[in-house]
Amino acid sequence: MPRVYMLDYVAGNVRSLVNAIEKVGYTVEWIKSPEDIEKADSLILPGVGHFGHCMSQFSSAGYLPAIRKHIESGKPFMAICVGLQVLFEGSSEDSSVPGLGIIKGTLDQFDNTSKSVPHIGWNSANTAGKRVYGLRPSSKYYYVHSYKVPYRAGELESQGWSVATARYGDEEFVGAVARGNILATQFHPEKSGVAGLRVLKAFFRWYKRERGPRSTGSKRRRVIACLDVRTNDQGDLVVTKGDQYDVREKADGGDVRNLGKPVEMARKYYEQGADEITFLNITSFRDCPLADLPMLEILRRTSETVFVPLTIGGGIRDTTDTDGTKVSALEIATMYFKSGADKVSIGSDAVTAAEEYYRQGKQLFGNTAIEQISGAYGNQAVVVSLDPKRVYISKPTETKHNTVQTKYPGPNGEQSCWYACTVKGGRETRDMDVVELATAVQAMGCGEILLNCIDKDGTNSGFDLELIDQVKNAVSIPVIASSGAGNPGHFEEVFSKTRTDAALGAGMFHRGEYTVKDVKDFLGEKGLMVRQFES
Ligand code: 1PR
């Protein structure tokens, strides 16, 4: 297989990119020093994370002159996400560090007053009719970023760049640029299903032939399939599903419900058109060395066939390995990212961190798992999973917590409730409500909230719209509605009645009652925009 060369630095999920490149027929050779760049006849700059962190890493490892030289020599060069951003002159994400300055212009942050930031999801890369590396106006590509290059018509074009644009809310930004030997995408081709693989294929086809490209030329609802994974009584890692978090069969000796194998099920949902796959490791297995965690192998195998974003949750906290070594949450997250995850999801540890945040008068010290992981990999890589439970009260003044006037009265006719946060899979309830938790984790650098609901989990009775409204109104980061989906109509309901950014289903897919495609077809029929799966 022909080879392409990729820069090896701490840049989030590079494994998925390697898998995608292999999928389109090439092998990846790692660049480990500036001297390697000189010898390489192509260069791929992957990137997830922080502009300043990324530039400082290149600079301290002595890569900057070699990257510039490579680009100027006319050899093929491809950059992805932060890789695109560093080609510009600078970014307000870190104004103390200049970019490479290959392209004129600077980045700024999306405005979050009327939309969720980061911008996470499927969007266009519109080339206004020009042919640019397989980009199609009808295709959707996966974006995850807080900073963007604002698009000003004609500006980049006048410097010879072909530009593909996208719109988020009322902001138009640069989705991809190409000129001569350079292709840079703000979206992740390796996470954009067949449309993304087509871009990689087109770039590498051009690269292989060593000739120029033939021409240099609103928001979609995300449907997520979630797999709760745990070890069953026989010691096998299985997909399970609870009713209000109880995953044991009511009969048959109360065994852990076994609904199938994680890797195979993830692939099935990807092929049905899932926009993302989430694995929640619902019991933390700590009886083997961390490096041998079975979940790492599951991620590695899943990322070979699943080309949409993967999130992994469960057990992400500072811990002690079986040999007594202390291992930080950041190190655990790094293992997951290296194995193919794009995001990590933190549950119990986020509640503990939020309690400390309030105890310290809302001060941040940079030492929580959320701050450390988002500092290294960007806030889009950190999801916090909330496991709230309804607490009914007869009137709002009875509690200090943020309450909801509910349409669904409690057992004694109570018309108000608040949502209490829980830890350890709902086994312990804390004196903190969801609004307090969501706003605290947002301040720490969490980029997205996975909003479960213990009362609704496994009930097939629809999402808790009151809970989703309360949290969505409290934060500016994206919210994923979870728990209670029983049919495609529930997805339509949550998307049309709340401002949720994504919705997740589990049991209805696992039991084979509906496919992800059924849900997306139904949403499409109802006039809601969804990404269609391209085969
Ligand atoms: O606390 O950081 O180790 O993370 C543990 C993670 O495991 C948390 O994200 C927590 O939500 C999850 N978890 C723990 N115990 C359970 C359990 O079910 N016993 N599962 C559990 C949470 C809930 C959803 C589920 C939706 C949709 N699963 O992810 O998929 O409710 O279900 P439905 O559509 O069938 O209603 P930490």
397-406 own/partner pairs: CB under 8 Å, 24+ apart: 401/433, 401/436, 402/433, 402/434, 402/435, 402/436, 402/470, 402/474, 404/466, 404/467, 404/469, 404/470, 406/466
Q: Which is more confident, 477 or 210?
A: 477
- Residues of the chain by 3-state class (helix, strand, coil), percent to 5: 30, 25, 45
How far apart CA 136 and CA 293 sit, in angstroms, is 40
Q: Where are the domains of the chain?
A: 3-209, 222-384+430-525
Closest CA to 239 of 209, 282, 206: 282
Residue 255: the pLDDT is 82
**Residue 491 identity (one-letter amino acid):** F
Q: Is the pLDDT of residue 219 over 80?
A: no
Contact 110, 174 (CB under 8 A): no
346-379 pLDDT tens trace: 999 999 999 999 999 999 999 999 999 999 999 9
Mean pLDDT on 111-120: 95
**Angle subtended at Cα 500 by Cα 495 and Cα 502, rounded to the nearest 5 degrees:** 80
Least confident window among 73-77, 120-124, 384-388: 73-77
- Point out the ligand 1 atom lying closest to the alpha carbon of residue 284: 3
Q: Out of 275, 349, 371, 387, pick the active-site residue.
A: 387
Tell me the sheet residues that pair with 171. 168
- Point out the ligand 1 atom lying closest to the alpha carbon of residue 456: 36
351 alpha carbon to ligand 1 midpoint, in Å?
Answer: 15
264-305 pLDDT tens trace: 999 999 999 999 999 999 876 556 778 778 889 999 999 999
Residue 427 is given by DSSP the state T
Q: Is 278 in the pocket of ligand 1 (CB under 6 A)?
A: no
Q: Is 387 assigned a catalytic role?
A: yes
Q: pLDDT > 70: what percent of the chain? A: 95
Q: Is the pLDDT of residue 483 over 90?
A: yes
Instruction: CATH number for 222-384+430-525: choose from 3.90.600.10, 3.30.930.10, 3.30.365.10, 3.20.20.70.
Output: 3.20.20.70
Residue 486: the pLDDT is 98
- Point out the ligand 1 atom lying closest to the alpha carbon of residue 278: 29
Closest CA to 151 of 134, 164, 142, 136: 164
Q: Is 232 helix (H, G, I), strand (E, B) or coil?
A: coil
Residue nearest to atom 8 of ligand 1 (CA): 347
Q: Out of 50, 53, 81, 493, pick the active-site residue.
A: 81
How far apart CA 378 and CA 96 sit, in angstroms, is 18
Residue 248: band (very low, low, confident or very high) from pLDDT cuts 50, 70, 90: confident
How far apart CA 479 and CA 271 sit, in angstroms, is 24
For a ligand 1 pocket test, name from 281, 282, 463 the mutation site with the most ligand atoms within 8 angstroms of its C-beta.
282
Q: Is 347 in the pocket of ligand 1 (CB under 6 A)?
A: yes
Backbone angles phi, psi at 348, to 5 degrees: -55, -40
Q: Is 54 assigned a catalytic role?
A: no
Residue 235: the pLDDT is 78
Contact 379, 146 (CB under 8 A): yes
Q: Is 188 assigned a catalytic role?
A: yes
Homologous superfamily (CATH) for 3-209: Class I glutamine amidotransferase (GATase) domain (3.40.50.880)
Mean pLDDT on 126-153: 94
Closest CA to 12 of 83, 60, 90, 77: 83
Residue nearest to atom 26 of ligand 1 (CA): 483
How far apart CA 266 and CA 258 sit, in angstroms, is 15
Least confident window among 250-264, 459-473, 500-514: 250-264
| 3-state SS string for 342-361 | CEEEECHHHHHHHHHHHHCC
